[in-house]
Structure 1
Amino acid sequence: MKEDRVSNPITIPDSLCSIIPSIPNYASYTNSTNTCSGTMTNWSELLPEILNAIARKLAYYEDYINFLCVCTSWKTCTTITKNIIQHLPSRIPMLMFHEYSHQNRTFFLLSNGGIIRKLPLPEAYRQRCVSTHGWLLTTGEQEFYTKLVNPVTRTQIHLPKLYMFEELYFDQDEWKYYGFSMRKAVFTSSNPLASDPSFRVVIIWGNTLGFCRLGDDSWTRVDGWEGHVFDITYHKMRTRLYVVCTTLGTIYECEIGNDVLCPVTLSRVTTFPGKELGCLCVQWAYLVEWGCNSLLMITRERQYFKKHDDEYARYGPYRTSRFQCFVFGLDDGKWSKIASLGNKAVFVGFNSSFAIDGGEGVKPNCIYFTDDLYEPYRGLPDGGGGDVGIYHMFSGRIEAIFGSQQQSVFGYSPIWLQASTLPVIKGIK
């Protein structure tokens, strides 16, 4: 496993710039150390009492991480502890938009009234990305390297090359197509830096399913299903990988924690009784761990338009029309349809599907969705990815997440980022 840290010791994050001037004694300190123009000559020389006063004003997990990564002196001179950081609220979930420049990515934060930020993330430049547990899994054209990137700390972990799947020997000229084939990734535990021997990264690449451990030279295949793979989820309480496939909504499972180097075979668990529950066809489906002994399956219906339709000019090739939610009991094997998610909100798209409690800008009993189809709009001159919104379970209403100004940044689908476990940062106890 290779791990890289990239940081700029003189870059002060935007979230800190508005706080620093309000610190008591800051002005007297800067007047004695600044040039005649009033510009700080060396941010790393701030006194420890000033740094701790700044740190106490930070209210969000991401701001603390940014603070610690400014430079070594900021990290070592403060009284911040890992325990303090882990109990702070997070601005995540947030949307990461398509590439803004070779150095930056654009993020839309649901908290703070839905603000837009541009953050440096050169590690994801010209990379195809999916997300899970707050990390990005990226792959690029250069020999199909894959790596994990934390967009907050910019930590990198290298993974096996994707062409280690034996059926993926293809021409570099076909990258534009195959680059879109990486659709999902999940972790078997939340923190890849925790030295957990059971940790695995699982991916869907086209219609291939596989996983690896950190440090592996190749991916291990998962076989044994029929049809098309819609979604995957790892049930932590059951320690099982669950897969939903085909228009019938068949669910499979397997255990991937053993030290195996041969293909793993899925076992069929159940087939969704769609007719009995009022869902005649499963166009698309998602899986979420739902309590200790259940899975939540969400079906998604899209309405498709032809080029001469009025809706085509407004929405593109399609738009989401409805979601339905069903719970499968892993103990009793029974299915039930639910009309409410309670205080939960679910996030689906090119991310591992996840549910969180409402609050901090997140509306309960809603499904936050992004566009997770590529084929219908790959040839459009302006790209696509605009099938994004908030589905209200109570009324069936679809609400826009943001206005037309933010919508203009689409070229490909934005990606939800989930809150992650605190990455290990050396020097913080």
Structure 2
Amino acid sequence: MTTWSELTWSELLPEILNTIAGKLDFYEDYINFLCVCTSWKSSATTTKNLIQNLPSRFPMLMLAESNTTEDPNHQHRRFFLLSNGGAMRNLPLPEAHRQRCISTHGWLLITGEQEFYTKLVNPLSHTQIELPELYMFEELYFDRDEWMYYGFCMRKALFTSSNPLSSDPSFHVIIIWGKTIGFCRPGDRSWTRIDGWEGNLFDIAYHRMRKRLYVVATMGTIYECDIADDVLGPLTLSPVTTFPVKEFGCSCVPWAYLLEWGPNSLLMVTRERHYFKKQDDEYGRYGPYGTSRFQCFVFGLDDGKWSKTAYLGDKAVFVGFNSSFAIDGGEGVKPNCIYFTDDLYEPYRGLPDGGGGDVGVYHMVNGRIETIFDSQESVFRGSPPLWLQPSTLPVIKGLK
């Protein structure tokens, strides 16, 4: 007779496994449960619909790749969980090793030097979706010796709907790469360019209600275009408005983020930084720096009017090397705050230890900046710390 102590994890009875599975409250925990072994995945009777409806501990902050000896093969990444009181979790993510990552809707867009590939990776399920290679952009023909420079120019990724695994024909991936905007659908052979703006690109946002792409560039000029289902050539942006800097007592727009703000509005968030110069100018223009202030402005898409707001209500806004997003406060997320990561990519190449330290929570009510953790734990030269957004979560591969 086999005793309990002689049983292996893979030999547990289905009834016991289903009891364990029924006590799991979060999507991520269910993923860990299914990944223990093949029998645990095949024995669980929980349906796909149930796992899809489990809540997630997102948003999470994915930290930079570690330089410690604890993970010499760099197969894991550390994640900072807001909903778990700031707990750290190590998750396997070999796909991101030495690769440049940005995020949108809980997915990572990863690119690497080998063939200038791009792909979407879900950090929880490890589902991967191949995208067209970046050299499909004519302006991105460059020497491999310059790859590091161009790799840092990948600034933003954006989905037009939350689930890239759906059969929605209107789904597109949109990216900002340096001075280029492009979009594609999974299965496309190349990226399609978007033209028609002036100055530097700050951010992109997709307004789901209006089904239009909005772009914010130098001086807060906002452009728009319609991302059609079938496009054979480049699209052209049309100017919508320019932020009235003098009306609000601003001298310029130093940096800006853009996101959907209700059915008829956009929210533009401006970010100001201060720099700590060295006497010998050791670091040049991009010396040690930190965020000093955020300001928020609402643009009405119907009336064309701008207004300043110091109150985000119950919402918290997340900005950085992720598609800018807002969620309701609660579960460890503080309302009326801006959660930010370090997205000033120049220091990543110029400072001795790289960038990544400018991470925190900005309180709109009084301008106080709260540190999230010891940010020096996440300095880096390659992949940045970034927020992972709540979204429609993918079904685990092989789950019936």
TM-score by length of 2: 0.93
Instruction: Please say if residues 194 and 424 of structure 1, whose CA atoms lie closer than 8 Å, have aligned partners that are also in contact.
Output: no
Alignment partner of 1:134 is 2:103: no
Counterpart CA distance in 2 for 1:400 and 1:338 is 24
**C-alpha deviations, 1:69-90, integer Å up to 9, x for none?**
3344323322322333333332
Structure 2 residue aligned with 1:114 = 86
Secondary structure at 1:408 match in 2: helix
The residue matched to 1:356 in structure 2 has which SS? strand
Partner of 1:118, secondary structure, is strand
Contact preservation (8 Å) 1:317, 1:377: no
CA deviations 1:44-88 (Å, max 9, x no partner) are 322111111111221112111222333443233223223333333
* Inter-partner Cα distance in structure 2 for 1:226 and 1:281: 15
The 1-side partners of 2:104 and 2:97 are apart by 18
Corresponding residue for residue 267 of structure 1: 238
Contact 2:287/2:347 (<8 A) preserved: no
Aligned-CA RMSD value? 1.9
> Where in structure 2 are the equivalents of 1:7-26 lying within 5 Å?
none
C-alpha change, 1:426 and 1:94, in structure 2 (3 Å) is closer
Q: Tell me what 1:302 maps to.
A: 273
Pick the aligned partner of 1:123 from 80, 90, 95: 95
* Residue aligned with 2:63, SS: strand
Which of 399, 408, 412 pairs up with 2:377?
408
Moved over 4 A (4+): 426-429
Rounded Cα–Cα distance in structure 2 between residues aligned with 1:338 and 1:56 = 44
Distance 2:229 2:49 in 1: 32
Post-superposition shift, 1:427?
A: 5.9
The 10-residue stretch of structure 1 (388-397 or 85-94) with the greater mean CA deviation from structure 2: 85-94
- d(CA) in 2 for partners of 1:387 and 1:112? 22
Show structure 1 runs of 5+ residues with no match: 1-27, 34-39
The CA deviation at 1:379 is: 2.1
Q: Distance in 2 between matches of 1:252 and 1:98?
A: 33
Q: Indicate which of 353, 371, 375 corresponds to 2:346.
A: 375
- Asked whether the equivalents of residues 378 and 385 of structure 2 are also in contact (C-alpha less than 8 Å), the reply is no
> C-alpha displacement at 1:95, in angstroms?
1.0
Q: Cα gap change, 1:294/1:29 in structure 2, threshold over 3 Å: closer, same or farther?
A: farther
1:170 aligns with 142
Contact 2:160/2:171 (CA < 8 Å) preserved in 1?
yes
| Cα deviations by residue, 1:295-347 (Å, 9 ceiling, x for unpaired) | 1100001112211399x9xx952111100001111111111111100110000
Instruction: List aligned pairs for 1:1-40, cutoff 5 A.
Output: 30-33=4-7, 40=8
Aligned to 1:44: 10
Aligned partner of residue 295 in structure 1, secondary structure: strand
Distance 2:139 2:395 in 1: 36
Match of 1:160 in 2: 132
Contact 1:350 1:370 in 2 (8 A): yes
Q: Do 1:193 and 1:424's aligned partners in 2 also have CA atoms closer than 8 Å?
A: no
Q: Secondary structure at 2:28's aligned position in 1?
A: helix
Structure-2 change in CA distance of 1:29 and 1:329 (3 Å): farther
**Correspondence for 1:387:** 358
Q: Deviations over 1:151-190 (max 9, x none)?
A: 0001111100001100111000001111101000000110
The equivalent position to 1:256 in structure 2, one of 222, 227, 230, is: 227
Residue 287 of structure 1 pairs with residue 258 of structure 2: yes
Read off the aligned partner of 1:170 and give its amino acid letter. F
Letter in 2 for 1:408: E
User: CA 1:369/1:426 → structure 2, altered by over 3 Å: closer, same or farther?
Assistant: closer
Aligned partners of 1:110 and 1:137: how far apart in 2? 22
Partner of 2:59: 93
* Match status 1:358 vs 2:324: no
Give 1:424 shift: 3.0
427 and 182 in structure 1: CA distance in 2 versus 1, 3 angstrom threshold: closer
Question: The residue matched to 1:83 in structure 2 has which SS?
Answer: helix
Q: Which residue of 1 aligns with 2:69?
A: none
Q: CA deviation at 1:273?
A: 1.1
Alignment match of 1:68 (pick from 34, 45, 64): 34
- Kindly tell me the number of residue pairs found equivalent between the two proteins: 388
Q: Contact 1:66 / 1:153 at 8 angstroms: preserved in 2?
A: no
Deviations 1:72-121 (A, max 9, x none): 43233223223333333321111111223431111111121111112111
Secondary structure of the residue aligned to 1:303 is strand
Letter in structure 1 aligned against 2:379: F
Q: Is the 8 A contact 2:76 2:90 kept in 1?
A: yes
Identity %: 77
Unaligned runs of 5+ in 2: 67-72
Question: Are the equivalent residues in 2 in contact too, given 1:97–1:105 (CA < 8 A)?
Answer: yes
Q: Is the 8 A contact 1:146 1:159 kept in 2?
A: yes
